[in-house]
Amino acid sequence: MKYVIKNVNLYQGKIDSHIIEHSNVYFENDIIVRIDTGETIEDGYEVIDGTDKYLLPGLINLHAHLFGSGKPSKILGSQSKLQQFVIKAAATNNGVKILDKLMQKNMRDALYSGVTTVRGVGDFFYRDVILRDKIKKGEAYGPDLIVSGPAITVPGGHGDQTFAMSASAKDELEHCVELNHQHDVDLIKICITGGVMDAKVKGEPGEVKMSLEQARWICDAAHAKGYMVASHSESEKGVEIAVDAKVDTIEHGAMFSDEIARKCKQQNTAFICTLSPALPLAKFSPKQTKLSDLCAYNAKIVVENMIDGIRKALSCYIPVGLGTDASCPYVMQYNMWREVCYFAKYLNVSNSFALYTATLQNAIILKMEDKIGSIEVGKHADMFMIANDPLKDLRALSKVEMVIAKGRIYRDCHIKKDIKLEKELDTLI
Ligand SMILES: [Zn+2]
Protein backbone atom coordinates (compact mmCIF):
# COMPACT_ATOMS: atom_id res chain seq x y z
CA MET A 1 0.00 0.00 0.00
CA LYS A 2 2.59 2.54 -1.12
CA TYR A 3 1.36 5.16 -3.57
CA VAL A 4 2.51 8.43 -5.10
CA ILE A 5 0.25 10.95 -6.77
CA LYS A 6 2.56 12.32 -9.42
CA ASN A 7 2.74 15.74 -11.10
CA VAL A 8 -0.39 17.15 -9.47
CA ASN A 9 -1.46 20.73 -8.70
CA LEU A 10 -1.39 20.66 -4.92
CA TYR A 11 -3.48 22.77 -2.55
CA GLN A 12 -2.32 21.90 0.95
CA GLY A 13 -5.10 23.55 2.96
CA LYS A 14 -3.06 25.94 5.09
CA ILE A 15 -4.25 29.52 5.50
CA ASP A 16 -1.68 30.91 3.06
CA SER A 17 -1.71 27.91 0.69
CA HIS A 18 -1.57 28.51 -3.02
CA ILE A 19 -1.41 25.92 -5.78
CA ILE A 20 1.96 24.18 -6.03
CA GLU A 21 2.39 22.79 -9.54
CA HIS A 22 4.19 19.53 -10.39
CA SER A 23 3.85 18.16 -6.86
CA ASN A 24 4.33 14.52 -5.89
CA VAL A 25 2.49 13.31 -2.80
CA TYR A 26 3.62 9.97 -1.35
CA PHE A 27 1.56 7.98 1.11
CA GLU A 28 2.02 4.64 2.79
CA ASN A 29 -1.11 2.97 4.12
CA ASP A 30 -3.01 5.83 5.71
CA ILE A 31 -0.16 8.31 6.27
CA ILE A 32 1.39 10.94 3.98
CA VAL A 33 5.13 10.27 4.06
CA ARG A 34 6.68 12.70 1.62
CA ILE A 35 5.82 15.68 -0.57
CA ASP A 36 8.15 17.06 -3.22
CA THR A 37 8.14 18.60 -6.68
CA GLY A 38 9.82 17.57 -9.92
CA GLU A 39 10.00 14.69 -12.35
CA THR A 40 11.97 12.15 -10.33
CA ILE A 41 9.82 9.61 -8.52
CA GLU A 42 11.14 7.37 -5.78
CA ASP A 43 11.06 3.62 -6.52
CA GLY A 44 8.70 1.27 -4.75
CA TYR A 45 5.52 3.37 -5.03
CA GLU A 46 2.56 2.67 -7.28
CA VAL A 47 2.09 5.77 -9.42
CA ILE A 48 -1.22 7.61 -9.77
CA ASP A 49 -0.96 10.20 -12.52
CA GLY A 50 -2.18 13.60 -11.32
CA THR A 51 -1.23 15.58 -14.43
CA ASP A 52 -3.48 18.65 -14.85
CA LYS A 53 -5.53 17.63 -11.79
CA TYR A 54 -5.91 19.39 -8.45
CA LEU A 55 -5.33 17.60 -5.14
CA LEU A 56 -6.93 18.95 -1.94
CA PRO A 57 -7.33 17.83 1.67
CA GLY A 58 -10.62 16.03 2.28
CA LEU A 59 -13.43 18.37 3.31
CA ILE A 60 -14.65 18.28 6.91
CA ASN A 61 -18.37 18.73 7.58
CA LEU A 62 -18.80 19.90 11.17
CA HIS A 63 -22.59 19.74 11.31
CA ALA A 64 -24.62 16.93 9.80
CA HIS A 65 -27.40 14.54 10.72
CA LEU A 66 -26.79 11.21 9.07
CA PHE A 67 -30.34 9.90 8.79
CA GLY A 68 -31.76 11.91 5.90
CA SER A 69 -31.06 12.27 2.20
CA GLY A 70 -31.82 16.01 2.24
CA LYS A 71 -34.58 15.82 -0.31
CA PRO A 72 -37.47 18.14 0.66
CA SER A 73 -40.29 16.21 2.29
CA LYS A 74 -43.36 17.02 4.35
CA ILE A 75 -42.12 14.55 7.00
CA LEU A 76 -39.38 17.01 7.92
CA GLY A 77 -41.82 19.85 8.62
CA SER A 78 -43.39 20.86 11.90
CA GLN A 79 -44.19 17.88 14.14
CA SER A 80 -46.98 16.06 12.34
CA LYS A 81 -48.74 12.74 12.87
CA LEU A 82 -46.94 11.43 9.79
CA GLN A 83 -43.58 12.40 11.27
CA GLN A 84 -44.31 10.63 14.56
CA PHE A 85 -45.53 7.56 12.64
CA VAL A 86 -42.29 7.41 10.62
CA ILE A 87 -40.17 7.75 13.78
CA LYS A 88 -42.15 4.98 15.50
CA ALA A 89 -41.75 2.73 12.45
CA ALA A 90 -38.03 3.45 12.36
CA ALA A 91 -37.69 2.17 15.94
CA THR A 92 -38.84 -1.35 15.00
CA ASN A 93 -36.35 -4.06 14.02
CA ASN A 94 -37.06 -3.65 10.33
CA GLY A 95 -37.14 0.12 10.67
CA VAL A 96 -33.67 0.16 12.16
CA LYS A 97 -32.38 -2.01 9.30
CA ILE A 98 -33.79 0.46 6.76
CA LEU A 99 -32.39 3.39 8.71
CA ASP A 100 -28.94 1.76 8.79
CA LYS A 101 -29.02 1.26 5.03
CA LEU A 102 -30.05 4.87 4.43
CA MET A 103 -27.34 6.19 6.71
CA GLN A 104 -24.73 3.99 5.02
CA LYS A 105 -25.75 5.27 1.61
CA ASN A 106 -25.76 8.86 2.86
CA MET A 107 -22.24 8.55 4.23
CA ARG A 108 -20.98 6.85 1.10
CA ASP A 109 -22.36 9.81 -0.89
CA ALA A 110 -20.59 12.20 1.48
CA LEU A 111 -17.32 10.32 1.01
CA TYR A 112 -17.65 10.28 -2.77
CA SER A 113 -18.15 14.05 -2.71
CA GLY A 114 -14.71 14.57 -1.16
CA VAL A 115 -15.77 14.72 2.51
CA THR A 116 -13.46 12.61 4.65
CA THR A 117 -14.65 13.65 8.13
CA VAL A 118 -18.22 14.27 9.31
CA ARG A 119 -19.33 15.42 12.75
CA GLY A 120 -22.83 14.06 13.39
CA VAL A 121 -24.81 16.25 15.80
CA GLY A 122 -28.07 14.45 16.45
CA ASP A 123 -29.29 11.10 15.16
CA PHE A 124 -31.68 8.33 16.13
CA PHE A 125 -31.16 5.28 18.37
CA TYR A 126 -27.33 5.57 18.42
CA ARG A 127 -27.19 4.23 14.86
CA ASP A 128 -24.59 6.97 14.19
CA VAL A 129 -22.30 5.30 16.76
CA ILE A 130 -22.85 1.89 15.13
CA LEU A 131 -22.08 3.26 11.66
CA ARG A 132 -18.96 5.08 12.94
CA ASP A 133 -17.60 1.78 14.22
CA LYS A 134 -18.53 -0.10 11.03
CA ILE A 135 -16.64 2.44 8.92
CA LYS A 136 -13.67 2.26 11.28
CA LYS A 137 -13.56 -1.51 10.87
CA GLY A 138 -13.83 -1.23 7.09
CA GLU A 139 -17.28 -2.84 7.00
CA ALA A 140 -18.84 0.21 5.32
CA TYR A 141 -17.58 3.04 3.10
CA GLY A 142 -17.75 6.48 4.59
CA PRO A 143 -15.91 9.41 6.09
CA ASP A 144 -14.49 9.27 9.59
CA LEU A 145 -17.44 9.94 11.86
CA ILE A 146 -17.46 11.93 15.08
CA VAL A 147 -20.93 11.51 16.52
CA SER A 148 -23.15 12.77 19.33
CA GLY A 149 -25.92 10.18 19.41
CA PRO A 150 -29.25 11.86 20.25
CA ALA A 151 -29.07 15.57 21.06
CA ILE A 152 -30.18 16.75 24.50
CA THR A 153 -33.07 19.20 24.65
CA VAL A 154 -35.84 20.27 27.04
CA PRO A 155 -39.54 19.34 26.73
CA GLY A 156 -40.94 21.30 23.76
CA GLY A 157 -37.42 22.28 22.69
CA HIS A 158 -35.74 21.82 19.31
CA GLY A 159 -35.52 18.14 18.40
CA ASP A 160 -37.86 16.98 21.18
CA GLN A 161 -39.55 13.72 20.13
CA THR A 162 -37.34 13.51 17.03
CA PHE A 163 -33.52 13.45 17.06
CA ALA A 164 -33.16 14.59 20.69
CA MET A 165 -34.07 13.33 24.14
CA SER A 166 -35.56 15.81 26.54
CA ALA A 167 -35.36 16.43 30.27
CA SER A 168 -35.61 19.37 32.70
CA ALA A 169 -34.19 18.59 36.12
CA LYS A 170 -30.47 18.55 36.93
CA ASP A 171 -30.23 14.83 37.65
CA GLU A 172 -32.28 13.98 34.53
CA LEU A 173 -30.11 16.11 32.25
CA GLU A 174 -26.96 14.67 33.79
CA HIS A 175 -28.43 11.23 33.21
CA CYS A 176 -28.84 12.06 29.49
CA VAL A 177 -25.11 12.85 29.33
CA GLU A 178 -24.36 9.61 31.18
CA LEU A 179 -26.59 7.63 28.80
CA ASN A 180 -24.78 9.04 25.76
CA HIS A 181 -21.47 8.32 27.47
CA GLN A 182 -22.48 4.69 28.01
CA HIS A 183 -23.27 4.47 24.30
CA ASP A 184 -19.74 5.67 23.49
CA VAL A 185 -20.54 8.96 21.72
CA ASP A 186 -17.77 11.41 20.77
CA LEU A 187 -19.41 14.69 21.76
CA ILE A 188 -22.54 16.10 23.38
CA LYS A 189 -25.05 18.15 21.39
CA ILE A 190 -27.59 20.42 23.12
CA CYS A 191 -30.41 22.59 21.79
CA ILE A 192 -30.67 25.92 23.60
CA THR A 193 -33.11 27.66 21.24
CA GLY A 194 -35.95 26.50 19.00
CA GLY A 195 -35.33 25.48 15.39
CA VAL A 196 -36.71 26.36 11.96
CA MET A 197 -38.16 22.97 11.10
CA ASP A 198 -40.12 22.35 14.29
CA ALA A 199 -41.18 25.93 15.07
CA LYS A 200 -44.89 26.47 15.62
CA VAL A 201 -44.91 30.27 15.76
CA LYS A 202 -43.12 33.15 14.08
CA GLY A 203 -39.72 33.85 15.62
CA GLU A 204 -39.60 30.56 17.52
CA PRO A 205 -36.21 29.42 16.09
CA GLY A 206 -34.59 32.12 18.21
CA GLU A 207 -36.68 31.56 21.29
CA VAL A 208 -34.70 30.31 24.26
CA LYS A 209 -35.97 26.92 25.43
CA MET A 210 -33.13 25.74 27.65
CA SER A 211 -32.14 27.93 30.60
CA LEU A 212 -28.57 28.94 31.39
CA GLU A 213 -28.75 26.77 34.49
CA GLN A 214 -29.83 23.71 32.47
CA ALA A 215 -27.17 24.31 29.80
CA ARG A 216 -24.54 24.62 32.54
CA TRP A 217 -25.55 21.33 34.17
CA ILE A 218 -25.11 19.54 30.86
CA CYS A 219 -21.86 21.29 29.94
CA ASP A 220 -20.32 20.63 33.37
CA ALA A 221 -21.27 16.94 33.24
CA ALA A 222 -20.03 16.61 29.64
CA HIS A 223 -16.76 18.45 30.20
CA ALA A 224 -16.08 16.36 33.33
CA LYS A 225 -16.13 13.32 31.04
CA GLY A 226 -13.92 15.02 28.46
CA TYR A 227 -16.58 15.74 25.82
CA MET A 228 -16.89 18.84 23.70
CA VAL A 229 -20.36 20.38 23.68
CA ALA A 230 -22.05 21.76 20.56
CA SER A 231 -25.08 23.99 20.99
CA HIS A 232 -27.90 24.77 18.60
CA SER A 233 -28.33 28.54 19.16
CA GLU A 234 -30.25 30.71 16.69
CA SER A 235 -30.60 34.07 18.46
CA GLU A 236 -28.53 36.61 20.40
CA LYS A 237 -29.90 35.39 23.73
CA GLY A 238 -29.30 31.77 22.68
CA VAL A 239 -25.67 32.56 21.84
CA GLU A 240 -25.22 34.37 25.15
CA ILE A 241 -26.49 31.39 27.16
CA ALA A 242 -24.28 29.02 25.16
CA VAL A 243 -21.18 31.11 25.83
CA ASP A 244 -22.00 31.58 29.52
CA ALA A 245 -22.53 27.81 29.87
CA LYS A 246 -19.11 27.36 28.21
CA VAL A 247 -20.13 25.28 25.21
CA ASP A 248 -17.32 24.60 22.74
CA THR A 249 -19.11 25.23 19.46
CA ILE A 250 -22.12 27.41 18.71
CA GLU A 251 -24.09 25.93 15.84
CA HIS A 252 -25.72 28.33 13.35
CA GLY A 253 -25.23 31.43 15.55
CA ALA A 254 -26.57 34.98 15.70
CA MET A 255 -25.36 38.49 16.56
CA PHE A 256 -23.61 38.94 19.92
CA SER A 257 -22.14 41.69 22.09
CA ASP A 258 -18.50 42.70 22.48
CA GLU A 259 -18.59 41.26 26.00
CA ILE A 260 -19.65 37.87 24.58
CA ALA A 261 -16.92 38.16 21.92
CA ARG A 262 -14.35 38.66 24.68
CA LYS A 263 -15.60 35.54 26.51
CA CYS A 264 -15.51 33.49 23.28
CA LYS A 265 -11.86 34.35 22.77
CA GLN A 266 -11.03 33.61 26.38
CA GLN A 267 -12.78 30.21 26.28
CA ASN A 268 -11.87 29.41 22.67
CA THR A 269 -15.51 29.06 21.64
CA ALA A 270 -16.05 28.55 17.90
CA PHE A 271 -19.03 29.36 15.67
CA ILE A 272 -20.22 26.85 13.09
CA CYS A 273 -21.76 28.49 10.04
CA THR A 274 -24.50 26.44 8.34
CA LEU A 275 -26.03 28.43 5.51
CA SER A 276 -27.15 25.36 3.54
CA PRO A 277 -30.55 24.71 5.17
CA ALA A 278 -31.78 28.26 5.79
CA LEU A 279 -30.82 29.81 2.43
CA PRO A 280 -33.10 27.73 0.18
CA LEU A 281 -35.98 27.89 2.67
CA ALA A 282 -35.59 31.66 2.86
CA LYS A 283 -35.16 32.26 -0.85
CA PHE A 284 -37.40 29.66 -2.50
CA SER A 285 -41.20 29.84 -2.39
CA PRO A 286 -43.04 27.62 0.11
CA LYS A 287 -44.71 25.96 -2.88
CA GLN A 288 -41.29 24.95 -4.16
CA THR A 289 -39.99 23.78 -0.77
CA LYS A 290 -43.21 21.94 0.22
CA LEU A 291 -42.94 23.63 3.61
CA SER A 292 -45.17 26.17 5.34
CA ASP A 293 -45.11 29.98 5.04
CA LEU A 294 -44.14 29.96 8.71
CA CYS A 295 -41.05 27.93 7.89
CA ALA A 296 -40.04 30.38 5.15
CA TYR A 297 -40.60 33.33 7.48
CA ASN A 298 -38.47 31.78 10.23
CA ALA A 299 -35.75 30.74 7.78
CA LYS A 300 -35.38 34.37 6.64
CA ILE A 301 -34.82 35.51 10.22
CA VAL A 302 -32.34 32.70 10.87
CA VAL A 303 -30.30 33.43 7.73
CA GLU A 304 -30.01 37.14 8.58
CA ASN A 305 -29.10 36.41 12.20
CA MET A 306 -26.54 33.81 11.20
CA ILE A 307 -24.82 36.03 8.65
CA ASP A 308 -24.64 38.90 11.19
CA GLY A 309 -23.20 36.61 13.87
CA ILE A 310 -20.68 34.86 11.65
CA ARG A 311 -19.56 38.20 10.19
CA LYS A 312 -18.97 39.53 13.69
CA ALA A 313 -17.10 36.35 14.71
CA LEU A 314 -14.81 36.69 11.70
CA SER A 315 -14.16 40.35 12.41
CA CYS A 316 -13.27 39.50 16.04
CA TYR A 317 -10.96 36.62 15.00
CA ILE A 318 -13.19 34.07 16.74
CA PRO A 319 -12.79 30.67 15.02
CA VAL A 320 -15.51 29.98 12.45
CA GLY A 321 -16.06 26.50 11.06
CA LEU A 322 -18.40 25.15 8.39
CA GLY A 323 -21.10 22.50 8.37
CA THR A 324 -24.11 21.77 6.22
CA ASP A 325 -26.86 20.55 8.56
CA ALA A 326 -27.38 17.73 6.05
CA SER A 327 -30.72 15.88 6.34
CA CYS A 328 -32.57 19.22 6.45
CA PRO A 329 -34.63 19.86 3.31
CA TYR A 330 -32.38 20.85 0.38
CA VAL A 331 -29.24 19.77 2.23
CA MET A 332 -28.04 16.63 0.52
CA GLN A 333 -25.17 14.73 2.10
CA TYR A 334 -23.05 15.23 -1.02
CA ASN A 335 -23.29 19.03 -1.02
CA MET A 336 -20.68 20.18 1.49
CA TRP A 337 -19.05 21.94 -1.47
CA ARG A 338 -22.12 24.19 -1.67
CA GLU A 339 -21.62 25.37 1.92
CA VAL A 340 -18.08 26.38 0.94
CA CYS A 341 -19.51 28.37 -2.00
CA TYR A 342 -22.22 29.99 0.17
CA PHE A 343 -19.63 30.95 2.77
CA ALA A 344 -17.47 32.68 0.15
CA LYS A 345 -20.46 34.45 -1.40
CA TYR A 346 -22.61 35.48 1.57
CA LEU A 347 -19.79 36.21 4.05
CA ASN A 348 -17.73 37.78 1.31
CA VAL A 349 -14.49 35.86 1.99
CA SER A 350 -11.94 34.71 -0.59
CA ASN A 351 -12.17 31.28 -2.19
CA SER A 352 -8.91 30.35 -0.53
CA PHE A 353 -10.19 31.36 2.95
CA ALA A 354 -13.45 29.44 2.40
CA LEU A 355 -11.50 26.33 1.44
CA TYR A 356 -9.13 26.73 4.39
CA THR A 357 -12.19 27.01 6.67
CA ALA A 358 -13.69 23.75 5.35
CA THR A 359 -10.42 21.90 5.87
CA LEU A 360 -7.72 22.99 8.34
CA GLN A 361 -9.84 25.46 10.33
CA ASN A 362 -12.49 22.78 10.82
CA ALA A 363 -9.77 20.35 11.94
CA ILE A 364 -8.48 22.92 14.45
CA ILE A 365 -11.99 23.30 15.90
CA LEU A 366 -12.11 19.51 16.33
CA LYS A 367 -8.64 19.65 17.97
CA MET A 368 -7.51 17.16 15.30
CA GLU A 369 -5.22 19.42 13.29
CA ASP A 370 -2.23 17.16 13.98
CA LYS A 371 -3.96 14.38 12.00
CA ILE A 372 -6.32 15.90 9.41
CA GLY A 373 -7.26 19.12 7.59
CA SER A 374 -4.21 19.61 5.37
CA ILE A 375 -1.91 17.66 3.08
CA GLU A 376 1.30 17.52 5.09
CA VAL A 377 3.83 14.83 5.95
CA GLY A 378 2.74 12.76 8.94
CA LYS A 379 -0.98 13.47 8.51
CA HIS A 380 -3.69 11.05 7.39
CA ALA A 381 -3.95 10.44 3.65
CA ASP A 382 -7.40 12.09 3.44
CA MET A 383 -7.54 13.85 0.08
CA PHE A 384 -9.53 14.26 -3.12
CA MET A 385 -8.74 15.06 -6.68
CA ILE A 386 -10.68 17.35 -9.05
CA ALA A 387 -10.22 18.56 -12.63
CA ASN A 388 -10.27 22.35 -12.21
CA ASP A 389 -8.72 25.00 -9.99
CA PRO A 390 -10.97 25.52 -6.92
CA LEU A 391 -9.24 28.78 -6.02
CA LYS A 392 -10.48 30.24 -9.31
CA ASP A 393 -13.99 28.80 -9.02
CA LEU A 394 -15.21 26.87 -5.98
CA ARG A 395 -17.77 25.06 -8.08
CA ALA A 396 -14.83 22.92 -9.24
CA LEU A 397 -15.25 21.09 -5.90
CA SER A 398 -18.43 19.46 -7.14
CA LYS A 399 -16.71 17.34 -9.79
CA VAL A 400 -14.80 14.75 -7.83
CA GLU A 401 -12.55 12.34 -9.74
CA MET A 402 -10.91 10.42 -6.93
CA VAL A 403 -11.13 10.27 -3.15
CA ILE A 404 -8.47 8.94 -0.81
CA ALA A 405 -9.65 8.36 2.73
CA LYS A 406 -7.25 6.91 5.30
CA GLY A 407 -5.08 5.81 2.40
CA ARG A 408 -7.88 3.86 0.74
CA ILE A 409 -8.46 4.89 -2.87
CA TYR A 410 -11.92 5.39 -4.39
CA ARG A 411 -11.66 5.87 -8.15
CA ASP A 412 -15.32 5.58 -9.10
CA CYS A 413 -17.03 8.30 -7.10
CA HIS A 414 -20.32 8.35 -8.94
CA ILE A 415 -23.21 9.79 -6.93
CA LYS A 416 -26.79 9.62 -8.11
CA LYS A 417 -27.73 13.27 -7.64
CA ASP A 418 -31.19 14.78 -7.95
CA ILE A 419 -30.59 16.94 -11.03
CA LYS A 420 -33.72 19.06 -10.57
CA LEU A 421 -32.83 19.97 -6.99
CA GLU A 422 -29.22 20.62 -7.96
CA LYS A 423 -30.35 23.09 -10.63
CA GLU A 424 -32.58 24.90 -8.15
CA LEU A 425 -29.72 25.13 -5.66
CA ASP A 426 -27.34 26.42 -8.37
CA THR A 427 -29.35 29.66 -8.38
CA LEU A 428 -28.14 30.40 -4.83
CA ILE A 429 -24.43 30.32 -5.65
ZN1 LIG B 1 -28.56 20.45 12.88
Higher pLDDT, 100 or 295: 100
Of 206 and 132, the structure prediction assigns the larger pLDDT to 132
pLDDT digit string, tens, across residues 310-337? 999 999 999 999 999 999 999 999 999 9
- Superfamily of domain 2-57+373-426 in the CATH hierarchy: Urease, subunit C, domain 1 (2.30.40.10)
Task: Quote the CA–CA distance of 310 and 63 in Å, as a whole number.
Answer: 15
pLDDT of res. 196: 81
Query: 79 alpha carbon to ligand 1 midpoint, in Å?
Result: 16
- Residues 17-26: tens digit of each pLDDT: 899 999 999 9
- Report, as an integer, the average pLDDT of 68-96: 80
What's the CA gap between 203 and 192, in Å, rounded?
14
Under the banding of pLDDT at 50, 70 and 90, the label for residue 77 is low
Burial of 67 per CB tally in 10 Å (0-12, 13-18, 19+): buried
Q: What percentage of the chain has pLDDT greater than the value 70?
A: 99
Sequence-distant (6+) residues with CB within 8 A of 105 are none
Start-end of CATH 2.30.40.10 domains in the chain: 2-57+373-426
Looking at the predicted structure, is the pLDDT value of residue 201 above 90? no
Distance 131 CA to ligand 1 centre (A): 18
Average pLDDT over residues 228-250: 97
Q: How far is the CA of 57 from the centre of ligand 1 (A)?
A: 24
Chain region(s) in the chain for CATH 3.20.20.140: 59-365
Q: Tell me, what's the pLDDT at 131?
A: 98
CA of 1 to the centre of ligand 1 (A): 37
Q: What pLDDT sits at residue 381?
A: 97
Q: How far is the CA of 120 from the centre of ligand 1 (A)?
A: 9
Look up the CATH number of domain 59-365.
3.20.20.140
Ligand 1 centroid to 261 CA: how many Å? 23
Angle at 421 between CA 417 and CA 423, to 5 degrees: 95
**166-180, 199-213, 256-270: least confident range:** 199-213
> Is residue 84 predicted with pLDDT exceeding 90?
no
Contacts of 242 (CB under 8 A, 6+ apart): 192, 215, 231, 233, 250, 269
The span from the CA of 301 to the CA of 425, in Å, is 20
DSSP sequence for 167-204: --SHHHHHHHHHHHHHTT-SEEEEE-B--STT--STTG
